[in-house]
Amino acid sequence: MKEGQWRRRDLDRGKTLGVLLVVLGHLVARQDPSGPGWGAAWYEPLRASLYTFHIPFLFYLSGYAAGWSGAATVSGPAWAALLQRRARHWLGPALLFGLAILAGKCLVQGFLHVDHAPASFAGGLVNLLWRTDDSPAQSVWYLVVLFAYAVCVPPLFTLLGERQVLLLALSLAVMPLPLPPLLFADRLLLYLPFYLAGILTERHDTGWCAFLDQQHSTLLGLFAIGFGLLLLLAAEGLLMRIPRAPLLLAASALAIPALHAAVRRLAARLPPTLDWLCPHAFAIYLLNTIFIGLAKALLMTVMPWEARWFPLFAPLLLAAGILGPVAAQSLVGRRRAPAAHLLR
């Protein structure tokens, strides 16, 4: 441990913040609320803006933790043992919950509303395991990509060295290679630069953290300005016209240092709610779409999925996506250590 026990906690809390932003981005799936009214007009610009940086922030934290623990540079038998643990902790849950979501959608779509319902179980299974751009369980993709990084990144550092890995990360951040949306390959290269950035930044941990602590106000101010610009561009329909890779790079360059600085400042006096959620972050990540979908289906039995009702839908769906997984994890009595599986 390089900087004391709290140093580990700022990554845990950053991960929890990132997961909560993921839940916020999941309130609307593929079908926007219909009908006239401004009740839902604010959400799409917010979601579009979040998706320019909140996933890169999670990958940065995962890379940072991998560098911190030494997992990014293991080799030989230690690397093989690491892959076994990662398969158990990441691929196992991804497959289990992917199948559970697919089966659940097939079972309930006859009497409850289901977002992105598969035409059949067989077709949904093909999309879950192969044509992943149309997967019925999109939320598990993060774990699959993390496992792929655990497979390829340690040999990458061994073969190329730190300087060449940095050049590779910069190249992919500007112009990622086009890969087909099979087995999440398209996302693998899109987010690899942020994972590598976390590893490389951790190698200069003392100076980087000193910079974050000294410049936190400036970093947060710049991020606030940038986020406001993102919202404006999204509201005007201009955000989608910007190429994806440069947009992620520019937005994340402002957001990642600011968010990391923010959770470091909160290390000594963190709001109790966020601290309480840290042990549940993995469950929230895995289960939030299930509980959001169930809550939406139940709510739609008493009120329509329309823009005028969205101000009531939104907080209820957000609460379901956070508190539902917390309750489920508490009921089964399996409280995992903070960040043990999602970050490392």
Specify if 204 maps to a domain. Answer: yes
Cβ 166 vs Cβ 192: under 8 Å: no
Taking phi first (over 0 means left), then psi (-120 to 50 degrees means alpha), and beta for anything else, what does residue 329 get? alpha
Q: What digits encode the pLDDT tens for the residues 21-50?
A: 999 999 997 788 887 777 788 999 999 999
- Predicted confidence at residue 204, as pLDDT, reads 93
Q: What digits encode the pLDDT tens for the residues 59-96?
A: 999 999 999 999 998 989 999 999 999 999 898 888 88
pLDDT at 335 over 70: no
214-217: long-range contacts (C-beta < 8 A, 24 or more apart)?
Answer: 215/261, 216/258, 216/261, 216/262, 216/264, 216/265
Joined tokens for residue 233: 């561009």
Specify if 341 maps to a domain. Answer: no
Specify if 242 maps to a domain. Answer: yes
Specify if 94 maps to a domain. Answer: yes
What is the pTM assigned to this prediction?
0.90
- Predicted confidence at residue 163, as pLDDT, reads 85
Model confidence band, residue 241 (pLDDT cutoffs 50, 70, 90): very high
Model confidence band, residue 269 (pLDDT cutoffs 50, 70, 90): low
Model confidence band, residue 281 (pLDDT cutoffs 50, 70, 90): very high
CA–CA distance, 270 with 107 (Å, rounded to integer): 42
Cβ 224 vs Cβ 185: under 8 Å: no
Cβ 299 vs Cβ 38: under 8 Å: no
Q: Which class for 175: exposed (0-12), middle (13-18), buried (19 or more C-beta within 10 A)?
A: exposed
The partner residues of 306 in beta bridges, in order of sequence, read 34
Specify if 101 maps to a domain. Answer: yes
Model confidence band, residue 178 (pLDDT cutoffs 50, 70, 90): confident
Specify if 160 maps to a domain. Answer: yes
Specify if 18 maps to a domain. Answer: yes
- Amino acid 289 reads T
The partner residues of 34 in beta bridges, in order of sequence, read 306
Question: What residue numbers bound the domain in which 239 lies?
Answer: 5-332
Model confidence band, residue 104 (pLDDT cutoffs 50, 70, 90): confident
Question: Domain total for the chain?
Answer: 1
- Predicted confidence at residue 342, as pLDDT, reads 52
Specify if 302 maps to a domain. Answer: yes
- Predicted confidence at residue 299, as pLDDT, reads 94
CA–CA distance, 183 with 122 (Å, rounded to integer): 17
- Predicted confidence at residue 300, as pLDDT, reads 93
Cβ 281 vs Cβ 19: under 8 Å: yes
